[in-house]
Amino acid sequence: MAINLTRRKFLKTASIAAASVPLSKVTAHAEAGVVKTPLIPKGSFKDTKTVTGGICEMCFWRCQLVGKVRDGVLKKIEGNPKSIDNGSALCARGNAGIKLLYDPDRLKYPMKNMGKRGEPKWKRISWEEALDECGKKLKATVDKHGPEGIAMFPHGASAKYPMHYFEHVVGTPNVSEASFFQCRGVRDYAWLSTIGAAPGEHVDMANAKVIFGLGCHFGENIHVSHTKRYLKGLENGAKLVIVDPRFSASASKADIWMQIKPGTDTAMLLAMMNYLVENKKFNAEYVDEYGEGFDEFKEAISPWTLEKAAKECDVPAAQIKEIADLLAANAPNVSIHPGRFSSWYGNDFQRGRALACLAGLLGAFGVPGGFVKGIGPGGFGKVKWGHGHEAIKALHREAKVHHQSPAGTPTDLIRDCAITSKPYPIKSCVVWGQNPIQTIPNQQKTIDMLMQMDFVMCVDVMPTDITMYADILLPEASYLERYDYIKKGTQWDLSAKQQQYVSARMPLVEAEFERKDQVYICNELAKRMGNEEAIPVQTIEEMVDKILEPASLSIKKLNEEDGIHLQPGKDPYGDFLDINFFSEDLVEQGYPGAPTYEPIPDVPKGYLRLLFGRSPLHSFNRTQNNAWLHNAMPENPVWIHDKTAKLLGLKDGDRISMVNSEGVESGTTSHVKVTPGIREDCVFIAHGHGTQNAAMTVAKDAGIDDQKLVTILAVDPETGCHGMRNNFIKIVKA
């Protein structure tokens, strides 16, 4: 600093200098950011109102919202009192959505990476320049390598429209959704091959006599209407059975908690079913009427005695019998919950099949308390991209593996193909709302895949870890700032007055800075890639209206009805589904026809199995930077058994890091929670913590990232989905 000027001296000098420094001239042509306006009296507020029509996306459950908006700024989020789904209730994350909206770390403008991939040096650029660059690079990849030269990693509602564009118009099969391949895809396809439908979470827990949850963390995964069903069931006296290596929130409310050895669930289910069959405690009438391949099934599961399973699962045989008897005594009014996140151990398809078969044996379909899908409103329009190119055969179809793969292509096949260029090169990557660094196991392989790309673009709301690898980074409007697909359904308690609802995501406030919605971004890409003629709608509002129009609804009408249209519903009971106990199709594809138990690797001496799951305060990584949620749960405590802790010289609250059996270190630390509520050979942490990108200023290094430690890859043979709980760690005192 040259001199210590005071304001007065500064001004005097400026006055003298004014003649020689024509400041007003050099700024004369600039656009003003503050202008004269008609006087607004002090204390008045423009536009103070309650805005209806919001739909939450702090998780995927999509609760209905209203917003208190003052002067264009969202001040508070509440449940929409008209909702027959979540009602006026919201979870902690839903309430904290406002902190995502106004998070200073959010992406604000399109940016170009002027540095290296992984070590970005960002420069704000115009949308025009950003889209031109994306369009040019993606088109160049298609021209040189064909549509299969593009890989896409989408996630969330806003990624659906662009995902369909890349799949159907561009024509790449190399699309991997984390919600399938690292989450529920294995469940959906296991049940699909057993009952002909993906199960969702369609169990009528509110009216059940027994609720059976295998690894279900009700209360730790809060989905409001789902949790209402669960709690109503308990309130009505339902018995609760929870099978989990950990004393979870649900286990704490359970009548029976089975502390099973990880990975052995299918053995327990087979023994339970064998017991029911052998003792004629199953619903023979239902099986006769709706079962397929029961005799082959019966034969296949016959080796599984209670004792054999008890040994394999490290649980008392009497407890398996007790649960089986409880279910049989209360059948068919039992909820055999299909679970949701199912990418556990790489033997998960068979577990899903076994669960569906158990429900079938009990006849727990179409009856109060059983598997019942509410009958929601129908007659809506569809917005579809035209099919521009003949679809290229997906990698798993070519290789004739993973015949039960969810839509898209199994992640590892895409990643391996990109890294090796075999059978073909994959040279551009589109990431839309997903953070593959924290969704896909073996981070180094993901990074290797990204580094060999000619071009990487990311669309997101936050600077998540994956965005460090983008060449172009585009800021998307959040769920509170844009329209989106409709949400429809019924009242949450299926036995209550039958009603149907229709709502559409509508913005509570306008998008700030230069954030744009997915329809705008994707259409502009399509134009630049020579696919303008395939564009199905010009705006996101048009998309929503096209979906609503055949049902005689519109955005305008929904707005007039406070965001939610209600109409009379239909009795949902009486839908008795066919059960494929033994599948010839699966046999033809080279898989077992009946549910089969496949053991997983045991914990090596000196190590602990790393288990991970949900916390009620975070939706994995996507809420980590949220200041309220972070304050409530800044990091993920490491659950460790009393005895194990004593052996390792650990006490409650000690700081630790982890290293896995392949020598990969967690890098960050967390604190120990010493508890008798976990098996001695396991540790448990909530998933999604330990963000690496320092641009997430709240979340950076807060807690341990389990995904970093998941380097041993297990892949479910039927579906190609990952199993992520076959990794083993040692504790390192920090």
Partner 1 sequence: MKMNSHSDIDSQESIILADIYQFLAYTMGYPEPELIGNPFLDAMEKMLENYGMHSEQQDIDAWRQSEKDEDLSDTLQIEYTRLFINAVPKIIAPPYASFYLDGDHNLQGKTTQKTRDYYRQYGCDITNPHEPADHIQLELEFLASLCRDYELDAEEMFLKTLFRPWFKQFYNRIIEDQGHPFYRVSVQLIDYITKEEQ
Total of residues contacting partner 1 (CB under 8 A): 73
Question: CA 674, CA 643: separation in Å to the nearest integer?
Answer: 9
CA 182 to chain centre: 9
Q: Does 390 sit near partner 1 (CB under 8 A)?
A: no
Q: How far is the CB of 664 from partner 1 (least distance, A)?
A: 22
Burial of 473 (C-beta count, 10 Å sphere; 0-12/13-18/19+): buried
Q: How far is the CB of 35 from partner 1 (least distance, A)?
A: 5
Burial of 700 (C-beta count, 10 Å sphere; 0-12/13-18/19+): middle
Tell me 599's DSSP state.
-
Q: How far is the CB of 94 from partner 1 (least distance, A)?
A: 18
Q: How far is the CB of 129 from partner 1 (least distance, A)?
A: 11
Residue from 134, 272, 447, 695 touching partner 1 (CB under 8 A): that is 695
Q: How far is the CB of 2 from partner 1 (least distance, A)?
A: 4
Cβ proximity to partner 1: between 35 and 288 the closer is 35
Which of the residues 657 through 686 are near partner 1 (CB under 8 A)? none
Which of the residues 101 through 160 are near partner 1 (CB under 8 A)? 101-105, 107-109, 111, 114, 119-124
Question: CA 176, CA 152: separation in Å to the nearest integer?
Answer: 6
CB atoms within 10 A of CB 236: 14
Q: Does 11 sit near partner 1 (CB under 8 A)?
A: yes
Nearest alpha-carbon partner for 434 in 402, 408, 396: 408
Whether 31 and 22 have beta carbons less than 8 Å apart is answered as no
Q: Does 422 sit near partner 1 (CB under 8 A)?
A: no
Whether 699 and 625 have beta carbons less than 8 Å apart is answered as yes
Alpha-carbon distance values, 141 to 134, 136, 425, 605, 648 (Å): 11, 9, 10, 48, 53
Question: CA 442, CA 449: separation in Å to the nearest integer?
Answer: 11
Buried b / exposed e over 56-76, threshold 16 CB at 10 Å, is bbbbebbbbbbbbbeeeebee
Q: Does 235 sit near partner 1 (CB under 8 A)?
A: no
Q: Does 97 sit near partner 1 (CB under 8 A)?
A: no
Which of the residues 57 through 86 are near partner 1 (CB under 8 A)? 70-73
Q: How far is the CB of 505 from partner 1 (least distance, A)?
A: 19
Cβ proximity to partner 1: between 227 and 691 the closer is 691
Piece of the chain touching partner 1 by CB under 8 A; list 98-106, 161-169, 184-192, 259-267: 98-106
CB atoms within 10 A of CB 242: 27
Q: Does 698 sit near partner 1 (CB under 8 A)?
A: yes
Cβ proximity to partner 1: between 21 and 318 the closer is 21
Question: What's the start-to-end Cα distance of the chain, in Å?
Answer: 43
Q: Compute φ and ψ for 212, nearest 5 degrees.
A: -115, 115
Give the CA-trace dihedral at 374, 377, 380, 382, to 10 degrees. Answer: -10
Q: How far is the CB of 694 from partner 1 (least distance, A)?
A: 3
Q: How far is the CB of 523 from partner 1 (least distance, A)?
A: 21
Cβ proximity to partner 1: between 60 and 628 the closer is 628
Nearest alpha-carbon partner for 303 in 594, 528, 674, 682: 594
Question: CA 341, CA 3: separation in Å to the nearest integer?
Answer: 64
Question: CA 260, CA 257: separation in Å to the nearest integer?
Answer: 9
Q: Does 690 sit near partner 1 (CB under 8 A)?
A: no
Piece of the chain touching partner 1 by CB under 8 A; list 32-40, 146-154, 166-174, 528-536: 32-40
Residue from 34, 288, 497, 663 touching partner 1 (CB under 8 A): that is 34
Q: Does 99 sit near partner 1 (CB under 8 A)?
A: yes
Which of the residues 616 through 635 are near partner 1 (CB under 8 A)? 627-628
Cβ proximity to partner 1: between 318 and 694 the closer is 694
Q: How far is the CB of 130 from partner 1 (least distance, A)?
A: 13
Which of the residues 507 through 536 are near partner 1 (CB under 8 A)? 510-514
Which of the residues 700 through 729 are near partner 1 (CB under 8 A)? 700
Question: CA 83, CA 177: separation in Å to the nearest integer?
Answer: 30
Q: Does 643 sit near partner 1 (CB under 8 A)?
A: no
Residue from 287, 323, 468, 724 touching partner 1 (CB under 8 A): that is 468
Residue from 15, 497, 574, 606 touching partner 1 (CB under 8 A): that is 15
Q: How far is the CB of 453 from partner 1 (least distance, A)?
A: 19
Question: CA 342, CA 352: separation in Å to the nearest integer?
Answer: 8
Cβ proximity to partner 1: between 279 and 513 the closer is 513
Q: Compute φ and ψ for 288, nearest 5 degrees.
A: -60, -45
Q: Does 694 sit near partner 1 (CB under 8 A)?
A: yes
Cβ proximity to partner 1: between 37 and 552 the closer is 37
SS3 521: helix
Cα atoms in the Cβ-side hemisphere of radius 13 Å centred on 490: 22
Q: Does 35 sit near partner 1 (CB under 8 A)?
A: yes
Question: CA 455, CA 611: separation in Å to the nearest integer?
Answer: 35
- List the beta bridge partners of residue 497: none
Alpha-carbon distance values, 284 to 297, 320, 361, 362, 573 (Å): 14, 21, 8, 9, 20
Nearest alpha-carbon partner for 441 in 151, 705, 694: 705
For residue 325, what are its two tokens? 């008897």
Cβ proximity to partner 1: between 7 and 280 the closer is 7
Which of the residues 532 through 571 are near partner 1 (CB under 8 A)? none
Cβ proximity to partner 1: between 42 and 422 the closer is 42
Cβ proximity to partner 1: between 27 and 552 the closer is 27
Cβ proximity to partner 1: between 31 and 288 the closer is 31
Which of the residues 277 through 306 are near partner 1 (CB under 8 A)? none
Cβ proximity to partner 1: between 301 and 629 the closer is 629
Question: CA 568, CA 614: separation in Å to the nearest integer?
Answer: 36
Beta pairing class for 111-113 and 472-475:
antiparallel
Q: How far is the CB of 538 from partner 1 (least distance, A)?
A: 21
Nearest alpha-carbon partner for 658 in 679, 680, 636: 636
Whether 300 and 582 have beta carbons less than 8 Å apart is answered as yes
Piece of the chain touching partner 1 by CB under 8 A; list 9-17, 324-332, 376-384, 718-726: 9-17
CA 484 to chain centre: 17
Pattern of binders to partner 1 over 441-460, x per CB under 8 A?
--------------------
